[in-house]
Amino acid sequence: MSNIPAENSSANLDDDAALVALSRQGDLSAYESLVEKYQKRMLNIAFRFLGNFDDASEVVQDAFVSAYRNLKGFRAEARFSTWLTAITMNLSRNRLKRMRLHQSRVPVSLDAPIRTDDGEVMADPPSGEPSVLDRMEKRDVQAKILDCIKMLEPDFREVLVLRDMQDLSYEEIGGMLKVAAGTVKSRLFRARESVKDCLKKTMGDLL
């Protein structure tokens, strides 16, 4: 992921601050602009953490509602996106607990559909192109990576998602999760090693 130039980052913060100020005054169109700006990013975070598109969508909707209701408690010294991400992660953790409780009570079918980022069932459309096998193999690898991430404990999964998939700094993640940056680094190392071990077991020589 490319780094954002400092001047663009500052402008982005100024834009957010202005939209937040207007939203606090009851300007719904201003808050809708924030929703449009960060909805896709929050959905990506929730989906990578939960592994289910429908649950991730509901979490993101709840996150934006919660953020709007608590705008008065938002401290301007923090980035709005960081604050919103923290809300999304908290709701994702709560949803994951409910999902695990539900799964422990309901039998899981091996034939259950697998959903992609856009919520559609993964399909293999007919094609005469010789590269179709490569696409299938790539898709299979991505699915196995997601499966390995889903096997991580929440504390390790969240740092992996925030650092490796969202490119947040250790300090941002630590502040968000209320742990020291060193703890973030330690959890991230263990999470990466666990995913590597999982992939080696599931893919063997293909890795």
Mind listing the pLDDT tens digit for each residue in 191-201?
999 999 998 88
Alpha-carbon gap, residue 74 to 81, rounded angstroms: 11
Please check whether residue 114 lies inside any domain of the structure: no
CA atoms of 173 and 158, how far apart (whole Å): 9
Q: What confidence category does residue 69 fall into, taking pLDDT thresholds of 50, 70 and 90?
A: very high
- Is the model's pLDDT at 14 over the cut of 90? no
CA-based nearest residue to 46, from 192, 125, 154: 154
Mean pLDDT of 8-30: 80
Average pLDDT value for residue range 134-161: 81
pLDDT tier for residue 4 given thresholds of 50, 70 and 90: very low
State mean pLDDT over 65-73: 92
- Regarding whether 88 and 32 lie in a shared domain, the answer is yes
CATH number of the domain encompassing residue 99: 1.10.1740.10
- What amino acid occupies position 121? V
The DSSP H or E segment spanning 66 is helix 53-69
Q: CA–CA separation, 8 vs 114, rounded Å?
A: 38
pLDDT tens readout for residues 167-199: 889 998 998 888 999 999 999 999 999 999 998
Total domains, the chain: 2
pLDDT at 156: 92
148 and 93 within one domain: no
Which one-letter DSSP state was computed for residue 116? Answer: -
Confidence of residue 3 (pLDDT cuts 50, 70, 90): very low
Q: Are 72 and 30 in contact (CB under 8 A)?
A: no
CATH number of the domain bearing residue 180: 1.10.10.10
- Give the global pTM: 0.66
88, 176: one domain: no
Check whether 106 has a pLDDT greater than 70: no
Q: Could you write out the DSSP letters of every residue in 122-172?
A: P-------TTHHHHHHHHHHHHHHHHHHHTS-HHHHHHHIIIIIT---HHH
Q: Is residue 200 part of a domain?
A: yes
The domain of 98 spans: 1-107
Structural tokens at position 67: 């953020």
